[in-house]
Amino acid sequence: MLSRLKYDLTMAEAARGPGGSRVDLLVVADMVQRGARVLDVGCGDGELLRLLESRGVDGRGIELSREGVNECVAKGLAVVQGDADTDLEDYPDDAFDYVILSQTLQATRRPRAVLEHMLRIGRHGIVSFPNFGHWRIRLQIFFGGHMPRTENLPYAWYETPNIHFCSIKDFRELCRAVGAKMEQAVALNPWGGRMRLKMPWWFWNLFGEQAVFLLSRQN
Amino acid sequence: MADIGATLDLADRTREADDPHSPVVRFGVHKPLRLDAGVDFAPLQIAYQTYGTLNAARSNAVLICHALTGDQHLVNDHPVTGKPGWWETMVGPGKPIDTERYFVICPNVVGGCMGTSGPASTNAATGMPWGLDFPVITVRDMVRAQAMLLDHLGIESVFAVAGGSMGGMQVLQWAASYPQRVFAALPIAASTRHSAQNIAFHEVGRQAVMADPDWRAGRYFAEGTNPRRGLAVARMGAHITYLSDAALHRKFGRRFQNRDNPTFSFDADFQVESYLRHQGITFVERFDANSYLYLTRAMDYFDLAGDYDGVVAEAFRGAPTRFCVISFTSDWLFPTSESRAIVHALNAAGARVSFAEITTDKGHDAFLLEEPELFAIVRGFLEGAAKARGLPAR
């Protein structure tokens, strides 16, 4: 188990898009322009980096788990062993076109600082995370009275690596607080499909199981 | 250590230095090696080994830089000891650095004693070995000499340059001095500078050599002696720094050597003592004491940042080279923090860098040993780089 692969994407695993890639990764990859320089923070076993490189993107990765790093390097990917919470400081301003946090943000100790570094290092940021505002999660807390556990979030509260959950609504507030501009947002339903309909935010927050945001610095 | 008293005559001892079991290239006075010490050194001899075949595009060359006590005998049996080459686990047909795919070049460093000019080589002006008259050399001098060798071989740029420890220092120096000539760089268990602790250990080794009465102020060839004991002690001390506490304990523990009880003497009661004595004895058979002084000095002087106003990243600014930095968890001589500093600098310079720390209890010497994870990473990194370089797939 890769420590930064924050939760089992069992549903999304089932929902694989063209080329066999996970749908949430395809959504992220679609936001990246060809030829861009990208830093994938918490790149796990490198599946997203591989997808990006197949699309002509110059990708780099940071991964906490040694197994993940070694697997990536053995695949020929440019990945360094490091921690999003401490090592982003080492990167200079504007070093990348995009910095990606794919299913990583909720496992960091200081999500706000990580997001701020992300927008300092990259001209754009892409963040994907499981939405804690989803109706099934709300139901479990409301009726079950316990911390939610789903197929996608199978951990008990005392052993989950996900220490900073948020809802889509919460994330939008954080974006406002750090001065990030939301350029694009995509929600995925529990079957990994994109919710394409133009819907109000409360609807996404209730029915989107995962969210992917493309951000940029507010000028 | 009475058993290291066997003497060879002068001719035997300088044979590998002057007329080695390797191809050599000689540069005359018209093509001196410009040394950091401010000397134009000539004539210069470089001994090297090659494995595999250079392709028509001359694009598949891999330069291997050896460590302090290594030499050019990478894969073949050693001409003096008869032991297998020092990196035959890593280099060879089908190995991670695949000689069926790459043209591997391994030169003996300047200051060495296996055929490249060094203190054991004969000084043409006197007809005697250079000894301490040999100029002090640096890692940058080693790399400059290697660049001369590549020029001679008609290799404009190498596909990769790789090495561990002092070899890793040369790899970093290559990327800094000749970024356009290095497509991929693999510094393993290396550092951008020798730390105070590293220098301290080296000084102990040098003092051990110099304290041996047979050292004769470096003129032991002329005086028909050989500072075996001093060099063996230096090697014993250094060897401990190449291993980890855990590895030593696993290998030897507190076990006795061929006895059940302590002898209440200073005999080698413990296996670990016997092992270290053996390491010392076998080392002096193949290594020149003055060479040991010069090469440890070269490592001590190594400080990449010093050449770039204290900022290591400036050494790699705009470098087109792709890097794969590797460290080992139990290496306390060149610890992971040193490799992280390299990665930090490379990131700051915008270079394409991979970094992996390998879990092992074998210490600094792990880069020479059977480490499947190391092999997988080197293989994968070179594979990716070969694709980017347009080398044909195997």
The structural domains of chain A, ordered by start, are 10-217 (3.40.50.150)
Quick check: is B98 in a domain?
yes
Which residue, of B296, B321, B342, is where some domain finishes?
B296
Please compute the mean of the pLDDT values over residues B170-184 and round it to a whole number.
98
Residue A152 has pLDDT above 80, yes or no: no
Domain identity same for B180 and B207: no
Domain identity same for B241 and B258: yes
Domain identity same for B255 and B148: no
Residue B324 has pLDDT above 80, yes or no: yes
Quick check: is B338 in a domain?
yes
Please compute the mean of the pLDDT values over residues A83-105 and round it to a whole number.
92
CA separation for the pair B115, B121 (Å, rounded): 8
Domain identity same for B92 and B204: no
Domain identity same for B343 and B270: no
Q: What is the pLDDT of residues B44-99, one digit of tens each?
A: 999 999 999 999 999 999 999 999 999 999 999 999 999 999 999 999 999 999 99
Quick check: is B304 in a domain?
no
pLDDT of A15 reads 60
Give the nearest partner residue to A74 out of B343, B350, B377, using CB atoms.
B377
- The greatest distance separating any two alpha carbons of chain A, rounded to the nearest whole angstrom, comes to 49
Domain identity same for B177 and B288: no
pLDDT of A18 reads 63
CA separation for the pair A209, B314 (Å, rounded): 46
Q: Which residue has the higher pLDDT, B318 or B212?
A: B212
Contacting residues for A71 by C-beta, under 8 A, at least 6 apart: A45, A46
Confidence of residue B215 (pLDDT cuts 50, 70, 90): very high
Residue B3 has pLDDT above 60, yes or no: no
Q: What is the pLDDT of residues A68-79, one digit of tens each?
A: 998 898 888 999
Residue A113 has pLDDT above 90, yes or no: yes
Quick check: is B394 in a domain?
no
Residue B163 has pLDDT above 70, yes or no: yes
Quick check: is B301 in a domain?
no
CA B182, B186, B188, B190 torsion: positive or negative? positive
Please compute the mean of the pLDDT values over residues B315-340 and round it to a whole number.
96
Domain identity same for B30 and B157: yes
Confidence of residue A1 (pLDDT cuts 50, 70, 90): very low
Q: Contact B381/A72, CB-based, under 8 Å?
A: no
Contact list in B for residue A70 (CB cut-off 8 A) is 356, 358, 373, 376-377
In sequence order, what are the beta bridge partners of B324? B354
Q: What is the CATH number of the domain that holds B37?
A: 3.40.50.1820
Best mutation target among B330, B337, B354 (most A Cβ atoms within 10 Å) is B354
Q: Does B387 touch chain A (CB under 8 A)?
A: yes
Q: Which domain holds residue B35?
A: 2-198+309-389
ipTM over cut 0.85: no
**Residue B92 has which token pair?**
């060879």
Domain identity same for B176 and B207: no
Domain identity same for B78 and B137: yes
Quick check: is B118 in a domain?
yes
Q: Contact B356/A70, CB-based, under 8 Å?
A: yes
Quick check: is B303 in a domain?
no
Domain identity same for B146 and B16: yes
Q: Which residue has the higher pLDDT, A61 or A218?
A: A61
Domain identity same for B23 and B127: yes
pLDDT of A136 reads 86
pLDDT of B65 reads 98
The whole-angstrom distance between A111's CA and the closest CA on chain B is 22
Residue A8 has pLDDT above 90, yes or no: no
Strands annotated E in chain B: 24-27, 33-34, 40-41, 44-51, 61-65, 91-92, 97-98, 103-107, 122-123, 128-129, 158-164, 182-188, 322-328, 352-358
Domain identity same for B192 and B207: no
Please compute the mean of the pLDDT values over residues B338-343 and round it to a whole number.
95
For chain B, the domain total comes to 2
Confidence of residue B104 (pLDDT cuts 50, 70, 90): very high
pLDDT of B70 reads 97
Q: What is the CATH number of the domain that holds B234?
A: 1.10.1740.110
Which residue, of B267, B296, B325, is where some domain finishes?
B296
**What is the CA B388 to chain-centroid distance, rounded?**
28
